[in-house]
Amino acid sequence: MGSLTLTHLTYAGAGLPTASVEFDPTFTVIYGSSNTGKTFIVDSIDYMLGGHVRPYIPRAEGYGQILLGLLLPDGSPLTLVRKPGGKSIHVHQADLRGMVHDTPDAVVSARRIRSRRDISHYLLSKVGLDDRYIRTNESGNTELLKLADLTHLSVVTDTRMIDPNPPSQRTRGTAARTAARSVMKLMLTGEDEPPATTLPNASQRRVQRGKINLIDSLALDLHAKLSRDQSPAELREQLALLEGTLEDMARSLARESEQQARAVAARAQLAQTDAELETRLGEVLDLLGRFDILRQQYESDLARLEMVSEAGNLLGYFQVGRCVFCGADPEHQHAQHGNQETTQLHEAVVVESTKTHSLLADLLLTLSDLEAQRDELIERRNALTRQAGEADSVLAQIEARLAPLNEELQAVVAERLRVERDLELRARIDELDEHRSELVSQGALPSKRVEAFIAGRILTSFDGVLQSTLDSWRIPNVEAAGFDPYGGDVSAGGTTRAGHGRGMRALLHAAFSIALARYCLDRRLPHLGFLVLDSPLVTYKEPDYDADRIPPNVIDHFYRSILAFPGQAIVVENAPPPPDVLEHARIITFSGSGDRPGFFPARPTSVLARP
């Protein structure tokens, strides 16, 4: 962290002698009589660093510019110019010590503004602290660090020196105490607060609480619809197992279904063949029936022809005499009449009989062939019937295996649907919880953000620096000195600073400020780098010491201890430092008369005569 160094404070006015004090980069003592402008110098430094209270003494009347010179961490000069009562500060990147008429390099607001074009952001950016956050209240709100959060620890006016308010706290109040704790944490540890968004007000919280109540109600309804009390991880694991089981079952079902399809196709083929055989068998049987009737007819004809032949022989149809065909007597018959008629009849019977025998023979052959076909068809149908029975058995076995698979599949599918439904419900519940958490994080519920306090080892180390500072001043009864990180006050000798009198309060405030600066600068922790103390000793009286005399012991050791201060120290006091300190510090004496009566030089008579 970079440090700033004060180089001078100057008041300039047209026609007026310039009033100025130069500060040593290590140790400056300004002492002298009362009412000479010592405290005015300290108040002016505070004012030039963004202070709100305009310092005023009658002798400052007529001065139109206040100049505060500084050295930046890189050693470059800087001059801040502000009109008394002005709201802006002109920044010149040069060491100016008289009336300034040049155009400034920058114009910033003396007060903090939203655009950050103010003296607070300007100087904090020069020391690398412009992006640090501090906590502002117990709810956890934060804001960017202000220069004022540090100046009251580096510029201790005489009013602050004896104020019972804790030295780490700029103003009174709970919020100021929270901010002071956060600033002390930043200075002692280098750690700032994580930025937080602004929390809602009471009205917004009421609206958000209504949303939370609605979300809670919806979440309860969704919880009631859950079939089991399983976490999303358990549900996802179970779903993965079910998916694997379903894949295995699908493969088994596919195999069985394929076998079933083949078996059904084969069974259908058998049925079709059987139907074809049945049709053919019907045709054969029909032919057999018809041909059998024809056979009977042939046999009947043959029997009749045989009977005709036998009857012709027996009855003499085939003898000489009255013609059996025409009844003519033999004398009326012509020659060979009977023989011819008989022969013709006999021949006709023979021909007819031969023809019928031939037809019957052919018919018998046909019948024999048809009977053979019938027998073959019957045999094939019997074989098909056996095959159909076997196919039906195979189908029954396949169906017997498919039935439990289908039942198990339906059960697994139902379980998967249940798990998927529960997962969906869990997802909706998680969304509601996330939305609820978002509302809570936005401050919908009155909760406190956990405050990170300073580690005990750091406090112990800082207390050691504080104790060694007090011990170096040889102050009696200040054992067990320590800093209270919660209350912000320091204590010594078993009593808090606020419980002491004005003199001791001033000493403890000075010891706290010196110890804090020394702790931070030795460890390169955040600090402005300079320390201005106004009247840390003026009200102190040693115990059992004659109040009419100035006790030199504590005062001398106080000055000597500051010779080893690691930064820039400016002490404003009434009493002078001891002789061994004078040669090691810049000494500015205001005698109240003579060449340097006070901060403001004596005005010429012509100036005093102005109206």
The full DSSP string for 276-341 is HHHHHHHHHHHHHHHHHHHHHHHHHHHHHHHHHHHHHHHHTTTSSSS-TTT---GGGSPTTHHHHH
Q: Which residue carries 């000069």 as its tokens? A: 77
Query: Rounded to an integer, what distance in angstroms lies between the CA atom of residue 192 and that of residue 67?
Result: 32
DSSP letter, residue 206: H
Closest C-alpha to 22, from 598, 423, 586 = 586
Q: Which residues of the chain have pLDDT under 70?
A: 1, 139, 196-202, 312, 314-331, 333-343, 441-452, 539-552, 604-611
pLDDT for 611: 42
- The values of phi and psi at residue 604, to 5°, are -60, 155
Q: Token pair of 317, please?
A: 């149809």
Q: Token pair of 37, please?
A: 């402008």
Q: Which residue carries 């083929």 as its tokens? A: 269
Instruction: Give CA 373 to chain center in angstroms.
Output: 88
3-state secondary structure at position 418: helix
Query: Rounded to an integer, what distance in angstroms lies between the CA atom of residue 299 and that of residue 312?
Result: 20
- CA 73, 521, 117, 532 torsion-angle sign: negative
Query: Rounded to an integer, what distance in angstroms lies between the CA atom of residue 315 and that of residue 309?
Result: 10
DSSP letter, residue 593: S
3-state secondary structure at position 5: strand
pLDDT for 456: 85
3-state secondary structure at position 608: helix
DSSP letter, residue 226: -
Residues 6 or more apart whose Cβ sits within 8 Å of residue 146: 112, 120, 124
pLDDT for 346: 76
Q: What is the 3-state secondary structure (H, E, C) of 463-523?
A: HHHHHHHHHHCCCCCCCCCEECCCCCCEEECCEEHHHCCHHHHHHHHHHHHHHHHHHHHHC
Q: How big is the CA angle at 73 (ends 68 and 78), to the nearest 5 degrees?
A: 30
Closest C-alpha to 540, from 558, 522, 527 = 558
On the 0-12 / 13-18 / 19+ scale of CB atoms within 10 A, 558 is buried
Instruction: Give CA 303 to chain center in angstroms.
Output: 116
Query: Rounded to an integer, what distance in angstroms lies between the CA atom of residue 503 and that of residue 74?
Result: 39
Phi-psi region of 566 (alpha: psi -120 to 50; beta: other; left: phi over 0): alpha
Q: Token pair of 608, please?
A: 């005093």
Query: Rounded to an integer, what distance in angstroms lies between the CA atom of residue 187 and that of residue 127?
Result: 13
Beta pairing class for 482-483 and 490-492: antiparallel
Instruction: Give CA 99 to chain center in angstroms.
Output: 58
3-state secondary structure at position 258: helix
Q: How many CB atoms lie within 10 A of CB 326?
A: 11
Closest C-alpha to 475, from 518, 510, 499 = 510
pLDDT for 329: 67
pLDDT one-digit tens code per residue, 3-36: 999 999 999 998 899 999 999 999 999 988 888 8
DSSP letter, residue 604: P
DSSP letter, residue 62: T
Q: How big is the CA angle at 535 (ends 531 and 541), to the nearest 5 degrees?
A: 130
Beta pairing class for 133-135 and 142-144: antiparallel
pLDDT one-digit tens code per residue, 413-432: 999 999 999 999 988 988 88
Q: Contact, 571 vs 559, CB < 8 A?
A: yes
Model-level pTM? 0.61
